[in-house]
Amino acid sequence: MAKGGFPGGRMGGGMNMNMIKQAQKMQQDMLRMQQEVEEREFTASAGGGMVTATVNGRKELLKLEIDPDAVIDAAGAEDVEIIADTVIAAVNEALNKAGAEMSSAMGKLTGGLGLGF
């Protein structure tokens, strides 16, 4: 028997092939799930519904709705800043929803392996 070897020259090859197949399946599942999340839309509102933002899972802004009353009432620069801040809040919340969904989906696949998704 060779130094450090196993009887018959096998080093658990069957188990290694099974692990490789499982890893390949997990990778395919992750890609499929990532694509599904990327195609979903996530919507969030801010300012009591004054601004609504919709993003996709690729974190692209798809739609931005501003209540016309908020713009009509915006008489001064301070009001415009409030609207801008509200837009930012709505977009960021929608992006956070998309990111949380992606993390959740990847966590389900990895089963808590701590891979940083």
**Domains, in order of start, for the chain:** 15-110 (3.30.1310.10)
In the DSSP assignment, the letter for residue 58 is T
Of 4, 106, 90, residue with least CA distance to 53:
90
pLDDT of residue 92: 93
Q: Which residue has the tokens 């090859």?
A: 13
pTM of the predicted protein model:
0.65
Work out the average pLDDT over 18-45: 90
If one counts every other C-beta atom within 10 angstroms of the C-beta of residue 68, the result is: 8
* 67 touches 90 (CB < 8 A): no
pLDDT of residue 1: 46
- 3-state SS assignment for residue 3: coil
Confidence label for 83 from pLDDT (cuts 50, 70 and 90)? confident
